[in-house]
Amino acid sequence: MGFAMFAPIYCVPPMEHILKQELFLTHAQTSLLFTAPMLMIVAVAIPAGIIADRIGARKAAGIGAIIIAVGAILRGTATDASSLLAFTFIYGVGLGWLFPNLLKLVSTWAPREKAGVATGIFFTGIFAGSALALAITMPLIFPITNTFQGVFFIWSIPPIAAAILWWALVREPTRNSIHSKPVSRGNISLRQISRNKNLWLVSILFLLNNFFFFTWIGWAPALMMLKGATPDLAGLISSITMWVGIPAVLLMPRLAYKLGLRKPFLWVPSIVLALASWGAIHVSLRMSWLLMALVGVANNTRFVTIMALPVDMMSKEEVGTASGLVLSIGYIGGIIGPLIGGRILDLTGSLDLSLLVLVGVSIAAAGIAFTLPETGPKARGKK
């Protein structure tokens, strides 16, 4: 499901130049076709989490999977920018329903002390789907039909298959699971969660993480083309960021579990990303492969660590709502960042200023990471 819900989003950045030309858009306007699903996560994630606390995460996630499949199919019928954006919003509604509830299921299936490891396993699917879409959309998928509509139709196949498999194979949690019982105090839980200062810090950190990540990956193909890469090569180089995310999200949570600490896996990657953003201004195309790999390890380590924090901090009854809050606030950054990057590219014809913005965002993220309490097993053991 992780593979299926994100792969159709990441086929957009490699096609940015085609969408811009055929739909008569600016770079900033084209960025909305990539970030619109994030906008719907912001709008839907909190109510989706509350509903999941009431009806069960399996049903709520299944509803989201169906909506994603419908939105993915409709994108292939778009004839202009308005219809494509509208269908992308439908896709985003499903994503907002599905994503927080998959995180809730992770908290059901895995013991609290291994939440980071379980989250890492789940995110391997997300990174694999995203990386594959970046890598093969232009060299393999687009030539099949030579239309962006055809690309969207082909990338609707994974969500359709995932939705069918979800309803056919995934069962409700066992009777002794907290998520098999309706939760009647959703509104009280939301009020309680909104008073949790540390959860707000996590939400802001996730906002900065997404500002960086979606700006980076959304404009990485354009950056590579500005450095001299062909469109096919630009998408392939950009996908390195996601490919290295697969071992990162598997290995780093295990390392954090063994060390008993989470904070170093937040502030160290933030410092690395600040340095990488500065270096991206000057790095050559030949060295861009290594830069993409460095960013992939650092950003994906921070990402999967943040995703485990609501499970660490909250009771199981509140994980769905808490995850919805973090996602809803955090994905605001995923909307703003690429839009700013596109506007800068429209005005200057360069992404250098965008990269300097990412330096500042990364430094701010490191500062917030330092202020968070340690939630790893070692810290809980001391308590």
Reported as half-sphere exposure (CB side, CA atoms, 13 A), residue 264 has a value of 10
Residue 28 exposure: Cα atoms within 13 Å on the Cβ side: 11
Provide the pLDDT for residue 190.
61
105-119, 248-262, 292-306 — which is least confidently predicted? 105-119
Q: Which of 131, 149, 92, 148 is nearest to 334 (CA)?
A: 92
What is the pLDDT at residue 178? 45
Domains detected in the chain: 2-172+195-373 (1.20.1250.20)
Average pLDDT, the chain: 86
Give the separation between CA 68 and CA 123, rounded to whole angstroms: 18
Mean pLDDT (whole number) for 168-187:
55
What local confidence, expressed as pLDDT, does residue 316 receive? 63
- When pLDDT is averaged across residues 299-305 and rounded to a whole number, the result is 89
Q: What is the pLDDT of residue 319?
A: 66
**pLDDT tens-digit map of 88-127:** 999 999 998 888 788 777 767 766 666 667 777 778 888 8
Question: Can you give the pLDDT at residue 186?
Answer: 44
End-to-end CA distance of the chain: 37
Is 11 a residue whose pLDDT tops 80? Answer: yes
Answer yes or no: is pLDDT of 4 > 60. Answer: yes
Q: Which residue has the higher pLDDT, 202 or 248?
A: 202
Report pLDDT for 258. 82
Per-residue pLDDT tens over the stretch 28-55: 999 999 999 989 988 887 787 778 778 8
Q: What is the pTM of this model?
A: 0.83
